Chains A and B, each alone.
Chain A
């Protein structure tokens, strides 16, 4: 049973617009959430994280929102750029040092 779900396999957005990637989790013990970006032939790269004691974390163009009651998080990218085109993975863990549980990923395409 998947504990971390990314229900949209792909997303296409116009350059300059907002990209919203969604993630749901089913394990109430998860208290730390991360987003990774992966380009072809490269390993995943950490993007942004959020602890369950917060509901929002912002880093430049990237903002992660956490809705604990809905067990849902989302990543907003504003404005989207063609270089953002990649596969984005949502990951969750119990404690900031636990092993990561990943979703299946969402492939984002940002068109010029």
Chain B
């Protein structure tokens, strides 16, 4: 079992550009959550997807959007990138209605905006 896989592992983008990050959940998991971890901070919840719909959302602007596909994989899109969007983006998957203890995190995508 490959666990949660994220791609790419590292990415450099220019301010104002758009970026798409990808996540494949652990086998058997159908719920995907995205977190942003800025340097020196803890992960901050962005949103959660279940049954291809956004189920919960944290305090992030509309520039952050997502999508979930029928195979449960997910994308995080960020438009009009700002320097402050530079961070580690973490994807976590869990079975629906599963406890948070059952959430598995991927290794993250390190995004650098220059």
Chain A residues close to B by CB (< 8 Å): 4, 6, 32, 34, 41-46, 49, 89, 91, 93, 96-105
Candidates A45, A91, A104; contact of B41 at CB < 8 Å: A104
Q: What residues on A are CB-neighbors of B97 within 8 Å?
A: 97
Residues of A within 8 A of B100 (CB): 32, 34, 46, 49, 91, 93, 96-98, 100
Q: Which residues of B contact A (CB under 8 A)?
A: 4, 33, 35, 40-45, 48, 56, 58, 90, 92, 97-101, 103-108
CA separation between A92 and B90, bound complex, in Å?
17
How many angstroms between the C-alpha atoms of A89 and B48 in the bound complex?
Answer: 20
**Interchain CB contact (< 8 A) of A100 among B43, B107, B108:** B43
The distance in angstroms between the C-alpha atoms of A46 and B43, with both chains bound, is 14
Residues of A within 8 A of B41 (CB): 104
A50 to chain B, nearest CB (A): 11
- The residues of A that contact B4 with a CB separation of less than 8 Å are 43
Contact check, B105 vs A45: say whether CB atoms are below 8 A apart.
yes
For the complex, give the distance between the alpha carbons of A104 and B44 in Å.
10
Given A42-B107, A100-B43, A102-B42; 9 other pairs, CB 8 A cutoff: A44-B43, A93-B100, A96-B99, A98-B100, A99-B33, A99-B56, A102-B35, A103-B42, A104-B40
Chain A interface main SS type: loop
Known interface pairs A42-B107, A43-B105, A43-B107; A97-B98 also in contact (CB < 8 Å): yes
Give every chain B residue within 8 A of A97 (Cβ-Cβ).
97-100
B103 close to A102 (CB less than 8 A): no
A111 vs B24: C-alpha distance in the bound complex, in angstroms? 37
Q: How far is the CA of A45 from the CA of B106 in the complex (A)?
A: 9
The 8 A-B residue pairs whose C-beta atoms are closest, nearest first, are: A43-B105, A102-B42, A99-B45, A96-B99, A102-B43, A44-B105, A104-B42, A43-B106
Which residue from chain A places its CB closest to the CB of B9 in the assembled complex?
A41
B97's closest neighbor in chain A, by CB? A97
Q: Is the CB of B58 within 8 A of A105?
A: no
